[in-house]
């Protein structure tokens, strides 16, 4: 499950973004990145693997500013590498986007964008959003985001910044959770309250179809017709441990009851029923290459070991090759 964090205020954004990303590590991820706004525009730093790799990248090439967005990615479209890590930018590097969810019509949208001269740097569906915003941008970031969202089919939780409208973060959701954190002269956006709990306990949960605009002076929630909405401010009484347990008495119960959603998340973007196939990061092989395998070895531990034992029998039956666990 991917994680989103955003900050706008008067403090250094980079350390706050990293702190928020670390709070969401328990959700699982395979790459991480940040986009920070400063006098140079939007500067991105990304790394495959652990957040510690991102920290090393930032130590080698520091970036500072008082607003930015960050993301931990669990690959659905494209292999887990630095190019596919979020944030993604437009052709000019002026718009940066982080995204949770699946853009179901990304292939069609990408073809149209490429035909109109856009160049893509990744294999992800998310990059399509950055280019759509670029194409409709006319000086107002939220208007461009709304226009882009009208073209998208699928689920999303997004946070967007742009050097062309630099004093705001625009966030939106449909089918993927997002909330706003309210501070003193500073505001946050996050996909998980644990990412911001050490800084504020006042939050606004966004509903599907909401578009939020965060500045240093406050926030506004709009619908996708740019009409202003009212959303209730909630007070978080749970401590961080309770939040990470998701309201369950202990982590084992949380793991058990989250299994259906976890399985669904694992399959999103990987099973392609319309094409009668699947797309697995790191296994982008042709049928001929797959048929050359003469045995399969599965490594697993804990509950995944039990799943692997079931998979062993299924694979041997379907593929007719020896399988070991």
Q: What is the 3-state secondary structure (H, E, C) of 57-69?
A: HHHHCCCCCCEEE
pLDDT tens profile 155-173: 899 999 999 999 999 999 9
Q: What pLDDT is stored for residue 183 in this prediction?
A: 92
pLDDT band at 78 (very low <50, low <70, confident <90, very high): low
What lies within 8 Å, CB to CB, of 284 at 6+ separation is 79
Confidence of residue 254 (pLDDT cuts 50, 70, 90): confident
| pTM reported for the whole predicted model | 0.81
pLDDT, tens digit (0-9, with 9 covering 90-100), for 23-53: 988 777 888 999 999 999 999 999 998 999 9
Q: Write the secondary structure of the chain as one string of H (helix), E (strand) and C (coil).
A: CCEEEEEECCCCHHHHHHHHHHHCHHHCCCEEEEEEEECCEEEEEEEECCHHHHHHHHHHCCCCCCEEEEEEECCCCCCCCCCCCCCEECCCCCEEEEEECCECCHHHHHHHHHHCCCCCCCCCCHHHHHHHHHHHCCCCHHHHHHHHHCCCCECEEEEEEECCCCCCEEEEEEECCCEEEECCCCEEEECCHHHCCCCCCEEEECCCCCEEEEECCEEEEECCCCCEECCCEEECCCCHHHHHCCCCCCHHHHHHHCHHHHHHHHHCCCEECCCCEECCCCCCCCHHHHHCCCCEECCCCCHHHHHHHHHHHHHHHHHCCCEEC
- Residue 250 or 10, more confident: 10
- Among 1-5, 33-37, 68-72, 194-198, name the one with the lowest average pLDDT: 1-5
In the predicted structure, residue 267 carries a pLDDT above the cut 80: no
Query: Would the pLDDT of 269 be above 70?
Result: no
The mean of the pLDDT values for the chain is 90
Which domains can be identified in the chain, with CATH numbers? 3-243 (3.60.20.10), 285-325 (no CATH)
Span 69-90, average pLDDT: 84
């Amino acid at each position: 499950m991917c994680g989103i964090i955003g900050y706008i205020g008067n403090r250094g954004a980079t350390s706050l973004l990293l702190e928020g990303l670390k709070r969401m590590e328990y959700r699982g991820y395979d790459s991480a990145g940040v986009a920070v706004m400063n006098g140079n525009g939007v500067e991105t730093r990304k790394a495959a693997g652990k957040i510690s790799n991102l920290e090393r990248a930032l130590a080698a090439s520091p970036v500072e500013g008082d607003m930015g967005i960050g993301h931990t990615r669990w690959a659905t479209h494209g292999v887990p590498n630095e190019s596919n890590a979020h944030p993604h930018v437009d052709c000019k590097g002026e718009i940066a986007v982080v995204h949770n969810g699946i853009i179901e019509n990304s292939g069609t949208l990408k073809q149209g964008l490429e035909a109109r001269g856009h160049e893509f740097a990744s294999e992800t569906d998310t990059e399509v959003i950055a280019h759509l915003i670029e194409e409709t941008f006319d000086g107002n970031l939220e208007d461009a985001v709304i226009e882009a969202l009208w073209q998208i089919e699928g689920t999303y939780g997004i946070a967007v910044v742009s050097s062309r409208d630099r004093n705001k973060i625009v966030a939106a959701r449909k089918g993927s959770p997002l909330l706003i954190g309210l501070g003193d002269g500073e505001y946050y956006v996050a996909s998980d309250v644990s990412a911001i709990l050490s800084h504020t306990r006042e939050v606004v949960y966004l509903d599907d179809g909401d578009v939020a605009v965060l500045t240093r002076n406050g926030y506004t929630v709009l619908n996708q017709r740019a009409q202003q909405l009212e959303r209730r401010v909630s007070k978080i009484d749970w401590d961080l441990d309770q939040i990470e347990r998701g309201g369950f008495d202990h982590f084992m119960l949380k793991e058990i009851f989250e299994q259906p959603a976890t399985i669904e998340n694992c399959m999103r973007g990987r099973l392609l029923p319309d094409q009668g196939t699947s797309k697995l990061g790191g296994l982008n092989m042709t049928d001929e290459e797959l048929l050359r395998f003469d045995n399969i070895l599965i490594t697993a531990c804990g509950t995944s070991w039990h799943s692997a034992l079931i998979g062993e029998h299924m694979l041997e039956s379907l593929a007719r090759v020896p399988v070991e666990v």
